Every structure is written in structure tokens, then in C-alpha cells.
Amino acid sequence: MKIKLGVIFGGESVEHEVSIISAIQAMNKIDQEKYEIIPIYITKDREWYTGDMLKDIEFYQDLSLIKRYTDNVVLYYRDGRYVLQKKNGLFKPVVKEIDIAFPIVHGTNVEDGVLQGYLQSIGIPFVGGNVYASVVGQDKAFMKDIWKEANLPMTNYVWFYDADYKRDSEEVLKLVSKLKYPVIVKPATTGSSVGINVCDSDESLIEAIDEAVQYDSKIVVEEVVPNLKEVNIAVMGNYEHQKVSEIEEVLSGNKFLTFNDKYIGGGKGKLKGMKTSAKTSKGMVSANRKLPADLSKELRNEIEDVAIKAFKALGTSGNSRIDFLIDSKTNKVYINEINSIPGSLAFYLWDAKGVDFTSVLDEMINIGIKDYKKRTSKVHSFDSNILQGFAANSSLKGMKGIKGKLR
């Protein structure tokens, strides 16, 4: 019997479209002999839909078709099953049942623990990091603070809240002045290089902060690495076991890898592994890169070692991409950030090591199942008669009247 796999994507995120691309790439490579693929698309206004048409990239050219040809559903636990039930209609029938959820989502409100929290609260097995790992994997301020405590090599940085900047911008600018120009300004929880700018003066710094606060309540500012070479590596596993992919060098004519570098690339064309002729972005596959990266054995070993330590420090699970910055003159390595659910699931990094995309997806699902078994083996509640002791408590009497007033 096939495993019913609910692939969840989209969501209220600035990386909504990138998520669609990553999910459709994956759905076309998942082993269909082993899994029944059930697409679950979350719109930008947080409505959930399911239907086979959601596997086709051309379907998204006209989003009005979604309401016409797919089912608007809710996912919940019912009679020992996890079901997708219609929200509308007279009888609201169950449309699909799923065994495990596979979030292929990017950015705030989905990748950052929000979706994982919902899945964990209803008890369904799911692929990827748990709530805690998802939160710190998305929040660059939390992430850097944890890595700093783990003594991992990073550039100098500071972070602050937008409210503090609006209340006393001079105090925040004084904090940032401890760093040396040029600096890079980032919204703490966005991805895909959205709202990021490099600054080499006070004037450009203020402009960059003003833009960043439009996307996030928490802002990170860090020093730019000179003679920059950017390299990425993927780590697969959980807190118990980890393995690393090939390392790539990302090539960009800009001071950092931009949204266009990552997702638009040098041209448009058919998505790798997709059964469509639609001309569209290829996801992270379209980025210019040197794969494998031209690195010495010593640098390669250092990056692999730091990547595993970073992965474990955040308690991550599944398949994450970790980005590094190298000063090419001094060969000093700095860890930059983790992508808990990377664009295109970073399958190209594994492919370069002889592991095909289908195998990557299968291993991610298996890790998710193992994580679920570990999670459910722990004690999370007690059988207790503690409430019986409150029955005679006079301070709790009269609750009936209060309930009546609240109706």
C-alpha cells in the first residue's frame, strides 16, 4: 500500500512563488510507486486547497482556476486519521486522507515554525525540523546568537527591533557604528535575499534599515567579508546522524547573491523534472555556480565540520543548506546562515555527489518518520486527578455565572 504524502506549499510569504516552484520540482521526482502524492496549496490569504491540477505549474498562471477546479479544505485529526475535509458544501465530505505531511515552504508564516507548530499540535508526522529548529533556522538573530555560543566562526554583527529604531534611531545607529563599513542589512526572518542591502555610508545604512523594517520587526546588521567567495553545502540527517553534500561556489556579479541570481538566473526555461512546457524560473537550479567548488582539502574539511556543528546546534532535521562566506585572500571561513527548507531542496548539491533527487526526497521522508517515532516515544502528559482537588476550592466557585456573561 502506498504512503499517502501530503505536500504542503505556498503560504502567506514573500517567497510564495518560490515555494510553488520547489514543490512542483519535488512532486515530479517523488517515487510514485511508493507514495501517493497529495498536493496541498496554501494561498496568500491562508486558504488551503487540494487537487491533482496543483501539480502543474501552468495552473498557477490564473489563480482564479484554483477555486473552480480544486477543493477548499482543512487538515485535522479525525477518528484516528488525518483528513482533508471540504470547508464548503452541504455535507463537507472528506476529500483525502494523508499519512505524513511534507512542507516544502519558504519564508515567514510557513517555514519559521508556524506551519510546523500546527502539524505538531494535531500530531501528524511531518518532514523537516520541529517547531524549535524551524524558528531558529528562520530567525537570523536567534540563529547567530546560538552559533556564537557554540563558538562557530562568524562576522561581527548586531541586531535590533524596529520599535527601538523608531523610538530612538540615534541609539540604534550608535550600536551599529561598532561595526566597520561596508555592512549588510537584513530583515531577520525573510529569505531569498528579500529586503537585503549592502551599505558603505551612514546615508545608505539609514536607507537600508528603512527598507528592512518594511519586511520584519527584527533587523540584523553584519560586517561584509572582503574578497568574498560564497560557498554552500547541504546537511542531511537529524541531531543523531548527519552527512554532507558536495560544496558549490555561487557566482554573482553583485555584492551578495540576490533574488534574481537565485531564481531568475540567466534565462527562462522548462523546470528540471517538470512535465510542462511553461517558461518560468528554474528555482535555485538557475543560479550561476561552480560545482564542485574549487577548494583546498583543508578548507573543504573545515566547511564540512562547521556545517555539521551548526546543523546540530540548531537541532535541525531533514535536508538543510548552509551558506558560508570565505575571504579568498586569507582563506578565513565564516558561517553565514542556514536554510531549513532550501530552494529546490538543494537537490543539485546531492546530485553532484551521485545521489539523485528521488533518493534525497525518500531519505527526507524516512527521517521525518523516524523523528515522529522519537517524538511520540517521549512522555508529554500525565494521567492525573489534579482537577478534583479544585472542586472544593471556593475561589473557583461561581464560574457558571462568569461563563454565562461571556456568552
SS (H, E, C) the chain: CCEEEEEEEECCCCCHHHHHHHHHHHHCCCCCCCEEEEEEEECCCCCEEECHHHHCHHHHHCCHHHHHHCEEEEEEEECCEEEEEECCCCCCCEEEEECEEEECCCCCCCCCCHHHHHHHHHCCCECCCCHHHHHHHHCHHHHHHHHHHCCCCCCCEEEEEHHHHHHCHHHHHHHHCCCCCCEEEEECCCCCCCCCEEECCHHHHHHHHHHHCCCCCEEEEEECCCCEEEEEEEEEECCCCEEEEEEEEECCCCCCCCHHHHHHCCCCECCCCCCCCCCECCHHHHCCEECCCCCCHHHHHHHHHHHHHHHHHCCCCEEEEEEEEEECCCCEEEEEEEECCCHHHHHHHHHCCCCCHHHHHHHHHHHHHHHHHHHHHCCCCCCCCHHHHHCCCHHHCCHHHHHHHHC
- For residues 21 and 89, membership in a common domain is answered with yes
Q: Are residues 218 and 307 in the same domain?
A: no
Task: Find how far residue 162's CA is from the centre of its chain.
Answer: 23
Which CATH number goes with the domain that contains 161?
3.30.1490.20
Structural domain contains residue 261: no
Query: Is residue 150 domain-resident?
Result: no
119 in a domain, yes or no?
yes
Q: Are residues 107 and 58 in the same domain?
A: yes
Residue 265 is assigned to a structural domain of this protein: no
> What pLDDT sits at residue 405?
56
Same domain, 20 and 84: yes
- Within-domain flag for 231: yes
Residue 296, domain CATH: 3.30.470.20
* Residue 389: predicted pLDDT: 66
- Residue 266 falls inside a structural domain: no
Q: Are residues 231 and 355 in the same domain?
A: yes
Closest to 127 in 3D by CA, of 401, 365, 357, 402: 365
Whether residue 379 is contained in a domain is answered as: no
Q: How many domains does the chain have?
A: 3
> Could you give the dihedral angle defined by the CA atoms of residues 284, 181, 171 and 197, in that order, rounded to the nearest 10 degrees?
-30
In a domain, 376, yes or no: no
Q: State the greatest distance between any 2 C-alpha atoms of the chain, in Å, as a whole number.
A: 75
Residues 99 and 31 in one domain: yes
Backbone angles phi, psi at 95, to 5 degrees: -90, -45
Buried b (16+ CB within 10 A) or exposed e, 205-220: beebbeebbebbebbb
- My answer on whether 217 and 230 are in the same domain is no
Determine the Cα angle at 18 with ends 105 and 53, to 5°: 80
Provide the CATH number for the domain around residue 93: 3.40.50.20
Same domain assignment for residues 202 and 243: no
Kindly state whether residues 231 and 293 are assigned to the same domain: yes
Segments forming the whole domain that contains residue 186: 156-223
Q: Examine the domain organization and report whether 105 and 56 are in the same domain.
A: yes
pLDDT tens for the chain, 407 residues long, are 999 999 999 999 989 999 999 999 999 999 999 999 999 999 999 999 999 999 999 999 888 888 889 999 999 999 999 999 999 877 889 999 999 999 999 998 999 999 999 999 999 999 999 999 999 999 999 999 999 999 999 999 999 999 999 999 999 999 999 999 999 999 998 765 778 999 999 999 999 999 999 999 999 999 999 999 999 999 999 999 999 999 999 997 655 555 454 444 444 444 443 333 334 456 556 568 999 999 999 999 999 999 999 999 999 999 999 999 999 999 999 999 999 999 999 999 999 999 999 999 999 999 999 999 999 998 877 777 776 766 566 565 655 554 555 55
Claim to verify: residue 61 and residue 171 sit in the same structural domain: no
Say if residues 155 and 226 touch (Cβ distance below 8 Å): no
pLDDT of residue 204: 96
Indicate whether 10 and 101 sit together in one domain. yes
Q: Residue 43's pLDDT is what?
A: 95
